[in-house]
Amino acid sequence: MFVDQVKIDVKAGKGGDGAVAFRREKFVPLGGPAGGDGGRGGSVILVVDEGLRTLMDFRYRHHFKANSGGNGQNKQMYGRGAEDTFVQVPPGTTVRDAETNELLGDLTEDGQQLVIAKGGRGGRGNMHFANARNSAPEVAENGEPGEERSIQLELKVLADVGLVGFPSVGKSTLLSVVTSAKPKIASYQFTTLVPNLGMVQLDDGRDFVLADLPGLIEGASDGVGLGIQFLRHVERTRVVLHLIEMDDQTGRDPFEDYQQINHELETYDPKILERPQVIVATKMDLPGSSELLAEFKQKLAAAGDTHEIFEISSITHQGVQSLMNKTADLLAETTEFPMGDVEEVQTQKLYQYQPEAPAFIIEQDEYGTFIVSGDKVEKLFKMSNLDHQDGVMRFARQLRSMGIDEALRESGAHDGDLVAIDNFTFEFVE
């Protein structure tokens, strides 16, 4: 099964907690604090594996979590840093934030990496908190929480040449003739439901990747039929082979089909039409195909279209070799076409002003408990070690410096009222 779009959840590892410990050795009285720092949490990193061709693996696994760092130890020993978690993706994967739709990266080269969730730093041990006023502090930090986010992975196949055209015009048949690929072929609409890739190898040593893409219908650029699935993948191609069937039994006008396909391409992305395009007249072995082709050429000339036309029959192999040679020549002359949004990510970063979120918000629930929330205060709570009295007093001083005490009084808090931060509840003291 070909899977080209998935949503996954990633969570980096938490940093290790700092230790509260003291130096206890014979003949060393009052040795002082010796609690070590916690280790760094593991990050979640996407890495390109050229052996993958689909996002199928993510169909059964949607959650990826890195390990937390080791806690600090006595004798000023640091905790072990956690190993990063690497997630393999196929080349051509575009990564976006699932909530904001921000483009995070475009992974195209084998071995390319993208840190998608950064691990938290380790908490400091009590050896960092000694001072002249408190030479034996029982204060340590917990590790910083790791980043957590949902991302959208979208695969756009990396093919040099794309076969475009209406359903059942002979794209899959041509692919099976010129490559070792074995796509499913039948005489009904929408035989190709997913992209098929094949390697074309010419006698002169040249080779390129050819993609048979799902057929288009009218309105494909607006999501009708399989259009969007197709158009997503044609963005990567450098040369477009536009297949038009010359079968007078279908009742279709080849010139109208040709115009309709180009209209859908232009509507989706005008830059696609800037790429070299070759018109391929297929099924030339059928009766009446020559007359239909002559009429098509007349309409093409009247419209001022100068694209080169190749006549082929995949069944008899007529004109197939010359078409492949021409395609290889065009590839040698054509450079890659960068995608606009990807190019912006690689060369520049757009910084926009965003109002700073409040450090905390105070609300009161139905039971009268004051709920203090906010990213900054919740992170402070998670990194505070409340197992020791010194740690509790330090946390209280930090809350006071943030202005939470005064804000609680303004909200109507009195002595003895309950205050909750995350899952920690305490009494308010005037």
Q: E strands of 156-276, at which residues? A: 161-164, 196-201, 207-212, 239-245
Q: Is 192 annotated as a binding residue?
A: yes
Report CA torsion sign: 418, 419, 425, 428. Answer: negative
Q: What is the DSSP letter of 303?
A: T
Residues near 194 by beta carbon (within 8 Å), at least 6 away in sequence: 1, 2, 4, 214, 229
Q: Is 43 annotated as a binding residue?
A: no
Q: Is 314 annotated as a binding residue?
A: yes
Q: Is 190 annotated as a binding residue?
A: yes
Closest C-alpha among 378, 355, 369, 352 to residue 427: 369
Q: Is 315 annotated as a binding residue?
A: yes
Q: Is 213 annotated as a binding residue?
A: yes
Instruction: Please give the single-letter amino acid code of residue 377.
Output: V
Q: Is 92 annotated as a binding residue?
A: no
Q: Is 170 annotated as a binding residue?
A: yes
Encoded tokens for 185: 């072929």
Q: Is 168 annotated as a binding residue?
A: yes
Phi, psi dihedrals of residue 209, rounded to the nearest 5°: -95, 130
407: Cα within 13 Å, side-chain hemisphere: 18
Q: Is 55 annotated as a binding residue?
A: no
Q: Is 383 annotated as a binding residue?
A: no
Coil, strand or helix at 24: coil
Q: Is 169 annotated as a binding residue?
A: yes
Q: Is 313 annotated as a binding residue?
A: yes
Q: Is 172 annotated as a binding residue?
A: yes
Closest C-alpha among 11, 22, 30 to residue 388: 22
Q: Is 282 annotated as a binding residue?
A: yes
Q: Is 283 annotated as a binding residue?
A: yes
> What would the DSSP string read from start to end of 68-87?
PPPPPBTTTBPPPPPPPEEE
> What would the DSSP string read from start to end of 323-347?
HHHHHHHHHHH------HHHHHHHH
Q: Is 279 annotated as a binding residue?
A: no
Q: What is the dihedral of CA 108, 112, 117, 118, to 10 degrees?
A: -150
Q: Is 105 annotated as a binding residue?
A: no
Rounded (5°) CA angle 48-49-53: 105
What is the rounded CA–CA span in Å between residue 408 and residue 416?
12
Encoded tokens for 220: 């494909």
Q: Is 166 annotated as a binding residue?
A: yes
Question: Which residue's structure tokens are 């940093």?
Answer: 15
What is the rounded CA–CA span in Å between residue 288 and residue 296?
13
Can you say whether residue 225 is alpha, beta or left, with left for phi > 0 and alpha for psi between -120 and 50 degrees? left
Q: Is 285 annotated as a binding residue?
A: yes
Closest C-alpha among 206, 145, 197, 148 to residue 176: 197
Q: Known binding site for Mg(2+): residues?
A: 172, 192
Annotated binding site: 165-172, 190-194, 212-215, 282-285, 313-315
Per the annotation, where are the binding residues for GTP? 165-172, 190-194, 212-215, 282-285, 313-315
